[in-house]
């Protein structure tokens, strides 16, 4: 009797799993374009970085650690302006044009000192990068363009990937600055 019940249960489970597998394979796969994939990668960075930047209070925007190995590092605001400046630089290289904003030798404009102005500069840089990435497609993704650093030629794919890798590198540094000031980064509050 127990053996019969086990066989019925095993049979029911096997049927359920096979029906589930059939249902999954029957779903059409979503096709994403290279533009969508690259844009989503930048959106992921933007979705973590901007809330972290906005979480730092105005009076702490000029904070930079100074003890130990931190001597001479960028302030929080300088980190943000640097990310934005490089966003402009990479976007301009993808579009094969001059950056539309002052990148100040990758430091951003010296004149931007208030939190509101620095945040706007960052948000505007992401808008520009999204515009640049919207021009990348299956035909030109690996075509080369002049490197923004005068080091020959690079692919649009490489430049677009660098937006995220560079931004997340500095995001990690900004998280340290936030935590040193007793602020839990928004992405860690869940």
Where in the chain are the domains? 1-30, 31-188
Sign of CA dihedral 189, 71, 103, 39: negative
Q: How is residue 31 annotated by DSSP?
A: P
**What is the structure's pLDDT at 23?**
55
Fold of 31-188: 1.20.120
With b for 16 or more beta-carbon neighbours within 10 A and e for fewer, the 55-91 pattern comes to bbeeebbebbbeeeeeeeebebbbbbbbbbbbbbbbb
**What is the structure's pLDDT at 10?**
41
**What is the structure's pLDDT at 144?**
95
**What is the structure's pLDDT at 115?**
97
**What is the structure's pLDDT at 9?**
42
Q: Please give the chain's pLDDT, 190 residues, in tens.
A: 455 445 444 444 444 445 455 555 556 678 889 999 999 999 999 999 999 999 999 999 999 998 888 888 999 999 999 999 999 999 999 999 999 999 999 999 999 999 999 999 999 999 999 999 999 999 999 999 999 998 899 999 999 999 999 999 999 999 999 999 999 998 888 7
**What is the structure's pLDDT at 150?**
84
**Residues 142, 157: contact at Cβ < 8 Å?**
yes
Stated pTM of the model: 0.83
């Amino acid at each position: 009797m127990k053996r019969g019940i086990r066989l019925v249960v095993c049979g029911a489970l096997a049927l359920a799993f096979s029906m589930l597998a059939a249902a999954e394979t029957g779903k059409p796969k979503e096709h994403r374009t290279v533009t969508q994939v690259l844009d989503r990668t930048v959106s992921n960075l933007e979705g973590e970085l901007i809330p972290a930047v906005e979480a730092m209070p105005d009076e702490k925007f000029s904070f930079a650690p100074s003890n130990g190995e931190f001597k001479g590092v960028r302030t929080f605001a300088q980190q943000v302006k640097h990310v934005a400046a490089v966003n402009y630089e990479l976007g301009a290289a993808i579009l094969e044009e001059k950056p539309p904003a002052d990148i100040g030798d990758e430091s951003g404009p010296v004149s931007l000192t208030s939190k509101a102005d620095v945040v706007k500069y960052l948000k505007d840089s992401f808008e520009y990068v999204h515009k640049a990435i919207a021009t990348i497609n299956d035909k030109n993704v690996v075509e080369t363009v002049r490197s923004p650093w005068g080091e020959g030629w690079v692919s649009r794919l490489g430049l677009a990937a660098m937006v995220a890798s560079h931004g997340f590198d500095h995001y990690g540094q900004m998280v340290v600055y936030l935590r040193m000031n007793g602020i839990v980064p928004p992405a860690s509050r869940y």
